[in-house]
Amino acid sequence: MEHLIEKRIYIESYGCTYNHADTQKLITLLEAQGCTRVGPEEAEAVIINTCTVIGATERQMLRRLRAFADKELYVTGCMPLAQPDAVRSVCTARFIHPDTIRDRYGGVGTPAPGAVGIVQIASGCLGRCSYCITRLARGALCSASADAILDAVRTLAAGGAKEIQLTGQDVSAWGRDIGETLPDLLQRIDDIPGRFRLRLGMMNPATVLPILPDLARAYESEKVFQFLHLPVQSGSDAVLSRMSRGYRAADVLAIVSAFRERYPEMIISSDFIVGFPGETDTDFAASLKLLRQAAFAKVNITRYSRRPGTPAAAYKDLTDYVRKQRSRALLAEADRIYDDYHDRWLGRETPVVVTEQKVAGSVICRTPCYMNVVIKEDLPLGYEGRAVVTARKRHYVVGELSPGQV
């Protein structure tokens, strides 16, 4: 970053919340070095924070790098860590290691657009998933200290953040390398003064299971959104074994049941990979069954794509046709579940907090279970009130402020 002093810069950021937090930190650092953000045409230097989780994303990254190959180009994120040769094949660029960004920034928390803050509680993971290239980029689990996380939450809360996102490649693994656990951390955060809620990031079922009772209890706090992101990837035990995920489908249902018994309206989100090598019709039927049984209220569906350097890259791929058909079938079932969930909210009143504004005259709010509510008014960021759900869309609901509120 020593070359980025008093320059006009343009930045593009891709991928997960963890990546976007690095981008926010990088912006702060570069502004302190006299840089100013401009559009791509006026930029003297371009920075791309990359993701390479699936093949389609990798291809998109390479297109963006080619587009700026004639600029002074800097690349950070997962791609230069996992696939440096692929980057060099399309452009000449300087690499910025993500660790350099966090070391120079000096903290694990950062404000994000709107009334949102992000705290990077850990990098890396304990998993050995056979298909995952992110593991090659981020390495073994490295948890931030509890004190660093608590300091970041205090700072963000004092600065007016209403939603604080705890992020990592596997949030439920936090502390396993330093002799601590996520529920203990959440208990300590609960003691921090302020009106904010935590949005806990992605959790691998394999690392949720050892802490399940304590984790479920931790969600009783009013400082935690009743939202769980639990990527299951497949409902077939045979496929899960080939994926090296470390759990069975029954374990996923046990986790879902433990949370739903306490929090019936809780939004549980998941990820599925369809068309993993060797997946049979019976295996895919098991994924559909698991989706129905768990009734995930949000699902990210990915068609399997081979990632270089992973054990699964040696397996024989299914045809594109099979992957596409299974993806469409799973999506259709997921859409039905979304609609059923949102239908249950029509006409009901719920607390809301305004966290974002993307369009003038309209704001995005969150409910205690992290449902996305759009209210077509110019409300200030951080506004807290109550709203009645008046309509539903596929991925959000529309609300109006309850009578008597301004």
- Residue 228 is predicted with a pLDDT of 98
Mean confidence (pLDDT) of the chain: 96
- Looking at the structure, do residues 279 and 199 belong to the same domain, yes or no? yes
Per-residue three-class SS string for 226-285: CEEECCCECCCHHHHHHHCCCCCHHHHHHHHHHHHHHCCCCEEEEEEEECCCCCCHHHHH
- Looking at the structure, do residues 217 and 239 belong to the same domain, yes or no? yes
Of 100, 123, 141, the domain-final residue: 100
Q: Which residues contact 247 (CB under 8 A, 6 or more apart)?
A: 205, 206, 209, 240
Beta strands in 264-340 (DSSP E): 267-274, 298-303
Distances (CA, A) of 377 to 187, 380, 393: 36, 9, 18
Is the pLDDT at 404 greater than 90? The verdict is no
- Residue 403 is predicted with a pLDDT of 86
Distance CA(390)–CA(345), nearest Å, equals: 9
Query: What is the share, in percent, of the chain residues with pLDDT greater than 90?
Result: 98
Is the pLDDT at 3 greater than 90? The verdict is no
- Looking at the structure, do residues 331 and 306 belong to the same domain, yes or no? yes
- Looking at the structure, do residues 115 and 55 belong to the same domain, yes or no? no
Classify residue 3: in a domain, yes or no.
no
pLDDT digits (tens, 9 = 90+) for 74-85: 999 999 999 999
pLDDT digits (tens, 9 = 90+) for 280-318: 999 999 999 999 999 999 999 999 999 999 999 999 999
Of 300, 328, 343, the domain-final residue: 343
The total of structural domains in the chain comes to 3
Residue 44, SS3 per DSSP: coil
**Vertex 84 angle, CA 22 and 15, to 5°:** 35
- What the block records as the tokens of 259 is 């949370």
CA atoms 111, 113, 114, 117: torsion sign:
negative
Distance CA(50)–CA(61), nearest Å, equals: 6
- Looking at the structure, do residues 325 and 214 belong to the same domain, yes or no? yes
pLDDT digits (tens, 9 = 90+) for 27-49: 999 999 999 999 999 999 999 99
- What is the biggest distance separating any 2 CA atoms in the chain, rounded to whole angstroms? 63
CATH number at residue 55: 3.40.50.12160
- Looking at the structure, do residues 160 and 268 belong to the same domain, yes or no? yes
Distance CA(319)–CA(229), nearest Å, equals: 29
Query: Which of 307, 230, 275 shows the shortest CA–CA distance to 54?
Result: 307
Average pLDDT over residues 135-162: 96
Distance CA(269)–CA(271), nearest Å, equals: 7
* pLDDT band of 2, cuts 50, 70, 90: confident
- Looking at the structure, do residues 372 and 332 belong to the same domain, yes or no? no
Instruction: Spell 337-354 as b/e; 16+ CB within 10 A means b.
Output: bbeebbeebeeeebebbb
- Residue 51 is predicted with a pLDDT of 97
CB 330 within 8 A of CB 304: no
pLDDT digits (tens, 9 = 90+) for 84-113: 999 999 999 999 999 999 999 999 999 999
- Residue 330 is predicted with a pLDDT of 98
Query: Which of 301, 304, 371 shows the shortest CA–CA distance to 334?
Result: 301
- Looking at the structure, do residues 255 and 193 belong to the same domain, yes or no? yes
CA dihedral 380, 381, 387, 391 (to 10 degrees): 100
Classify residue 301: in a domain, yes or no.
yes
pLDDT digits (tens, 9 = 90+) for 204-229: 999 999 999 999 999 999 999 999 99
* pLDDT band of 405, cuts 50, 70, 90: confident
Classify residue 2: in a domain, yes or no.
no
- Looking at the structure, do residues 391 and 291 belong to the same domain, yes or no? no
| pTM of the complete model | 0.95
State the residue range of the domain holding 387: 349-401
- Residue 406 is predicted with a pLDDT of 62
- Residue 157 is predicted with a pLDDT of 96
Amino acid (one-letter) located at 177: D
CA dihedral 335, 231, 240, 139 (to 10 degrees): 150
- Looking at the structure, do residues 87 and 121 belong to the same domain, yes or no? no
Per the listing, tokens 């045409």 go with 41
* pLDDT band of 1, cuts 50, 70, 90: confident
Classify residue 1: in a domain, yes or no.
no
Residue 190, SS3 per DSSP: helix
